[in-house]
Chains A and B, each alone.
Chain A
Amino acid sequence: MKILEINHMKKSFDDLEVIKDISLSVNEGEVLSIIGPSGSGKSTVLRCATMLEKMDGGELIYLGEHAAEMNNEGRSVYASKKDLKRIHKHFGLVFQSFNLFPHYSVLKNIIDAPMSVDKISRKEAEERAMALLKKLGLEDKKDAYPFQLSGGQQQRVSIARALALQPKILFFDEPTSALDPELTGEVLKVIKELAQDNMTMIIVTHEMQFAKELSDRIIFMEDGVIQGEGTPEDIFNTENERIKDFIGKFAG
Chain B
Amino acid sequence: MEFSFMLMQLGKGFLATVQVFALTLIFSLPLGLLISFGRMSKIFPVRLITKFYISVMRGTPLMLQLIVVYFAPFYVFGLQLPRSYRFTAVIVAFVLNYAAYFAEIYRSGIESMPVGQYEAAKVLGYNKGQTFFKIILPQVIKRVLPPVTNETITLVKDTSLAFVLSVVEMFTAAKQIAASETTIMPLMVAGLFYYIFNLVVALGMEQLEKKLNYYR
Binding site for B on A (CB under 8 A): 50-52, 85, 88-89, 91-93, 95, 97, 99-103, 112-113, 116-118, 145-147, 158, 161-162, 165
The smallest beta-carbon distance between B157 and chain A, in angstroms, is 33
Could you jot down 22 A-B contacts, CB within 8 Å? A50-B123, A52-B123, A88-B123, A88-B125, A93-B123, A95-B116, A95-B120, A97-B116, A99-B119, A101-B117, A102-B216, A103-B138, A103-B139, A113-B124, A113-B126, A117-B124, A117-B126, A145-B214, A147-B216, A162-B123, A165-B124, A165-B125
A95-B120, A147-B215 are known contacts. Are A101 and B125 too (CB-CB below 8 A)? Answer: no
B142 is an interface residue with CB less than 8 A from chain A: yes
B117: chain A residues within 8 A (beta carbon): 99, 101
B58 is an interface residue with CB less than 8 A from chain A: no
Contact B119 A52 (CB under 8 A): yes
Within B100-130, which residues are at the interface with A (CB < 8 Å)?
114, 116-117, 119-120, 122-126, 130
The smallest beta-carbon distance between B126 and chain A, in angstroms, is 6
C-beta contact mask, B189-216 vs A, less than 8 Å → 1, else 0? 0000000000000000000000000111
Closest to A96 in B: B116
6 closest cross-chain pairs (CB), A and B: A99-B120, A99-B116, A117-B125, A113-B124, A147-B216, A93-B123
The smallest beta-carbon distance between A27 and chain B, in angstroms, is 22
Question: Bound state CA distance, A158 and B119, in angstroms?
Answer: 13
Question: Bound state CA distance, A99 and B215, in angstroms?
Answer: 14
Given contacts A95-B116, A102-B139, 19 further A-B contacts (CB under 8 A): A52-B119, A52-B122, A88-B125, A91-B123, A92-B123, A93-B123, A95-B119, A97-B116, A101-B117, A101-B135, A102-B215, A103-B142, A113-B125, A116-B126, A116-B134, A117-B125, A145-B215, A147-B216, A158-B120
Closest to B212 in A: A103
Majority-rule SS of B interface residues:
helix
Closest to A171 in B: B123
Contact A89 B125 (CB under 8 A): yes
Question: Bound state CA distance, A100 and B119, in angstroms?
Answer: 11
Contact B120 A101 (CB under 8 A): yes
Give the interface residue-count category, chain B: 10 to 19
Question: Bound state CA distance, A127 and B126, in angstroms?
Answer: 21
Question: Bound state CA distance, A35 and B125, in angstroms?
Answer: 28
Question: Bound state CA distance, A117 and B126, in angstroms?
Answer: 6
The smallest beta-carbon distance between B75 and chain A, in angstroms, is 49
A162: chain B residues within 8 A (beta carbon): 123-124
Question: Bound state CA distance, A165 and B142, in angstroms?
Answer: 29
C-beta contact mask, B4-35 vs A, less than 8 Å → 1, else 0? 00000000000000000000000000000000
